[in-house]
A and B are shown apart, each in its own frame.
Chain A
Amino acid sequence: MTEAIRLTDTDPRFVDEIKKAGGENILMCYQCGTCTSSCPVREIDERYDPLKIIRMAVLGMKKEVLSSDIIWLCSRCYACYEHCPQSVGVTEVLHAITNIAEKEGKEGNIRIKSLKPRLDGVFNDLIRKYGRLFEIKFFAHHALLSKGVVGLLSSAPDGFVMFRKGKLRLLPHKIKGMKQIERIFKIVGANEK
């Protein structure tokens, strides 16, 4: 038997947090399941269920939603967003949820097992530093984070093929307008605190 949901353990403010974080229309959802049936990730692993994530969020099951590994598996294809008959903006709602999880993780309130926030962090750090993506460093970090040193070494032949074809730059390109980039990161960082 599945365990009952104790409403006394839920957080009714969770839905307002989601609204503020970019999921304004979450309460428009009438649970038709079009999002779930459109989802290509769900086709591969049925544990990934946008309908269920939204329902749990609306019920205020903050702890259960945010500590789940599942929420990080959105491929950002916008199929659910496009098909939703209620204009819930499903993709944006799911992103709002991961954004809240990331914040709670940074504050030490939850432990996030998924690599996703750390990988995004690597990408953002490169943009902060150069204004553009420095691919070789990005790929190396990815390999190291997701597969360890062995993974990094085993990706070397792929890297060599790219390099030989002239597709990998060994030195980063720093844009001239770094002052503006630094300003953007600084203001966004301050807003998020």
Chain B
Amino acid sequence: MKFAYYPGCYLHGTALEYDMSTRAVCRKLGIELIELDDWNCCGAVEANNSLSIPLSARNLALAERMGLNIVAPCSVCFHKLSKANKMVKGDEKFRKKINEMIDGQYQGGVEVRHLLDIIVNEVGLERVSKDVKVPLEGVKAVPYYGCLIVRPSEIAKFDDPEDPQSLDDLIKATGAECLPYSHKVSCCGGGLLANKEDFALDMAKKIIDSAKRAGSNCIVVTCPLCHTMLDFQQSNIGSRYGITIDLPVLYFTQLLGLALGLGVKELGLDKNIVSPMKLLESIGIG
């Protein structure tokens, strides 16, 4: 199984641990990742499609030249690339216009998949379960999907937009407990962090509250923007409300990597802002 790997800007920076754990887990599961050579930003923040579609299309054209489908671990990149792909594939005239803009020849032959989709639906949970070396007994996780990995469902496609299950099933396959809670597809507020910070922090707090009420000892995420809101901003949320939260937030690849027997350093678990070390020690790792 071979994919063109699209890390996106965050995984080459503040979400470094997501990149590290993605590469480590894929190696272990026999997924060959070839980083898309000379990829550019997907056009993430832009609400207007006028820039994000040609920017994304340039990446699609690069993958087509490699003859590979794209895998993206970031839900924002996954959304932007998938949306551009849908629009360009569905309309030949529009595709010509975009090709003219990128000075390229994209024919519409590439599929864009989220890494979670690949691991759950292509590698399969049977294979994952077989490869588990360290069942994560004692980890009580809540699965946090957020927005763009499931919505709009006509673009995201691979799971239910109201009550998705793929991350739940993967958590269970690692031997960890997967707890039900109310906020698995709520918005983390990440899109508002820059221009309305107080709203963004309030939105993230609701997710953390729900996770705590469920009795979890960690939140598992699939997107670097969600991770920023729940992990990096956790101390800001704490000071805004005058509370101590101390709830580790792991990328799903970090959790899976631990179960596959990969090392703490290899998975970048020392790079999370809220340290997961106490949790790991409590289950005999680290």
Q: Do A168 and B192 touch (CB < 8 A)? A: no
Shortest Cβ distance from A87 into chain B, in angstroms?
A: 9
Q: Do A127 and B195 touch (CB < 8 A)? A: no
Given A169-B13, A177-B40, A177-B58, do A45 and B152 touch, yes or no (CB 8 Å)? Answer: no
Q: Can you name the residue of chain B whose Cβ is closest to the Cβ of A76?
A: B191
Q: Do B9 and A133 touch (CB < 8 A)? A: yes
Q: Do A184 and B202 touch (CB < 8 A)? A: no
Interface bracket on B:
35 or more
Which residues of chain B come closer than 8 Å to A44, judged between CB atoms? 199, 202-203
Q: Do B151 and A82 touch (CB < 8 A)? A: yes
Q: Do A116 and B195 touch (CB < 8 A)? A: yes
Beta-carbon contacts of B63-106 to A below 8 Å, as 1s and 0s?
Answer: 00000000000000000000000000000000000001111100
Given A81-B151, A180-B104, do A115 and B194 touch, yes or no (CB 8 Å)? Answer: yes
Given A135-B14, A180-B58, do A73 and B40 touch, yes or no (CB 8 Å)? Answer: no
Q: Do B191 and A167 touch (CB < 8 A)? A: no
Interface of B is mostly: loop
- Give CA–CA (A116, B101) in the complex, Å: 26
Which residues of chain A come closer than 8 Å to B197, judged between CB atoms? 146
Residues 142 to 193 of chain A near chain B (Cβ within 8 Å): 142, 146, 158, 161-162, 165-169, 173, 175-177, 179-181, 183-185, 187-188, 191-192
Residues 152 to 206 of chain B near chain A (Cβ within 8 Å): 152-153, 161, 186-187, 189-192, 194-197, 199-200, 202-203
Residues 94 to 146 of chain A near chain B (Cβ within 8 Å): 95, 98-99, 114-116, 119-120, 123-124, 127, 131-133, 135, 142, 146
Shortest Cβ distance from B40 into chain A, in angstroms?
A: 4
Q: Can you name the residue of chain B whose Cβ is closest to the Cβ of A97?
A: B47
Cβ of A74 under 8 Å from chain B:
yes
Beta-carbon contacts of B8-23 to A below 8 Å, as 1s and 0s?
Answer: 0110111110000000
Cβ of A40 under 8 Å from chain B:
yes
Q: Do B203 and A123 touch (CB < 8 A)? A: no
Q: Do A132 and B191 touch (CB < 8 A)? A: no
Given A75-B187, A168-B14, A180-B104, do A175 and B55 touch, yes or no (CB 8 Å)? Answer: no
Interface of A is mostly: helix
Q: Can you name the residue of chain B whose Cβ is closest to the Cβ of A133?
A: B9
Set B15, B16, B51, B151: member contacting A185, Cβ < 8 A: B51
Q: Do A40 and B14 touch (CB < 8 A)? A: no
- Give CA–CA (A146, B16) in the complex, Å: 26
Central interface residue in B41, B54, B161, B202, by most chain A CB within 10 Å: B41
Shortest Cβ distance from B259 into chain A, in angstroms?
A: 24
Cβ of B148 under 8 Å from chain A:
yes
Q: Can you name the residue of chain A whose Cβ is closest to the Cβ of B162?
A: A82
Q: Do B47 and A98 touch (CB < 8 A)? A: yes
Given A98-B47, A180-B58, do A115 and B195 touch, yes or no (CB 8 Å)? Answer: yes
Q: Do A133 and B13 touch (CB < 8 A)? A: yes
Q: Return 9 A-B CB contacts under 8 Å, by A number.
A: A75-B190, A133-B41, A135-B13, A161-B273, A165-B271, A167-B13, A184-B54, A184-B58, A192-B50
- Given known contacts A180-B58, A181-B40, what 8 new A-B pairs fall within 8 Å (CB)? A75-B187, A77-B191, A82-B161, A133-B41, A181-B55, A184-B102, A185-B51, A188-B50
Which 8 A-B pairs give the minimum distances between C-beta atoms? A77-B187, A133-B9, A95-B47, A78-B151, A131-B40, A77-B147, A76-B191, A75-B191
Chain B residues within CB distance 8 Å of chain A: 9-10, 12-16, 38-41, 43-51, 54-55, 58, 100-104, 147-148, 151-153, 161, 186-187, 189-192, 194-197, 199-200, 202-203, 232, 270-271, 273
Chain A residues within CB distance 8 Å of chain B: 22, 40-41, 44-45, 72-79, 81-82, 91, 95, 98-99, 114-116, 119-120, 123-124, 127, 131-133, 135, 142, 146, 158, 161-162, 165-169, 173, 175-177, 179-181, 183-185, 187-188, 191-192
